């Protein structure tokens, strides 16, 4: 019997998924609650502070960046890969996390938050996330890492 030919690539096909903490380097994740009336918040999307302390919501005009929603494997399958109002979840403020790049990005590009919570390197109509950068070169709609360095 001939042994089958097996080959492996150096890098796995899927690097990560939205909201996945990307490295074991030090990071800062705060616990927040989905604000009343907020829509579904997808894993790996940007959120802004809500009107009540310790709450977050989908971005709105003039909203202050609160972090990136960290994926939670304990969320029920029927709920999907989202957090809902009243859900308590982690928001990464400092560290490296996987998100979905909305446009082609290059390592070192600045990170902008769209009005819907998406992340891109395009400035038009979007809010820059100070001290954040893309850590990967990736095509549009592909997973990519960003490094956040929110210090306040």
| pLDDT tens column, 81-91 | 999 999 999 99
Smallest CA-to-CA distance from 21 within 68, 75, 55, 58 is with 68
pTM: 0.88
Residue 86, pLDDT score: 94
Number of neighbouring beta carbons within 10 Å of residue 117: 21
Residue 137, pLDDT score: 94
What are phi and psi for residue 21, nearest 5 degrees? -65, 125
Residue 146, pLDDT score: 96
pLDDT tens column, 32-71:
999 998 889 999 999 999 999 999 999 987 789 999 999 9
Mean pLDDT of 128-148: 94
Whether residue 152 has pLDDT greater than 70 = no
Element (H, E) at 29: strand 28-34
Q: pLDDT-derived band of residue 99, with 50, 70 and 90 as boundaries?
A: very high
Residue extents of the structural domains in the chain = 28-149
Residue 13, pLDDT score: 61
106: Cα separation from own chain's centroid: 17
Classified by CATH at the fold level, domain 28-149 comes out as Virus Head Decoration Protein; Chain: A, (2.40.300)
């Amino acid at each position: 019997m001939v042994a089958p030919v097996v080959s492996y690539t150096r890098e796995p096909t899927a690097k990560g998924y939205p909201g996945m903490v990307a490295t074991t380097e030090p990071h800062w994740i705060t616990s927040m609650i989905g604000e009343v009336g907020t829509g579904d918040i997808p894993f790996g999307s940007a959120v802004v502070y809500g009107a009540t302390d310790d709450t977050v919501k989908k971005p709105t005009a003039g909203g202050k960046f609160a972090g990136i929603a960290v994926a939670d494997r304990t969320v029920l399958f029927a709920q999907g890969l989202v957090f809902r109002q009243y859900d308590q979840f982690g928001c990464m403020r400092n560290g490296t996390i996987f998100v979905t790049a909305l446009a082609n990005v290059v390592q070192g590009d600045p990170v902008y938050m769209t009005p819907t919570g998406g992340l891109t390197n395009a400035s038009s109509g979007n809010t820059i996330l100070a001290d954040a950068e893309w850590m990967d070169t990736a095509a549009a709609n592909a997973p990519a890492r960003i490094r956040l360095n929110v210090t306040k």
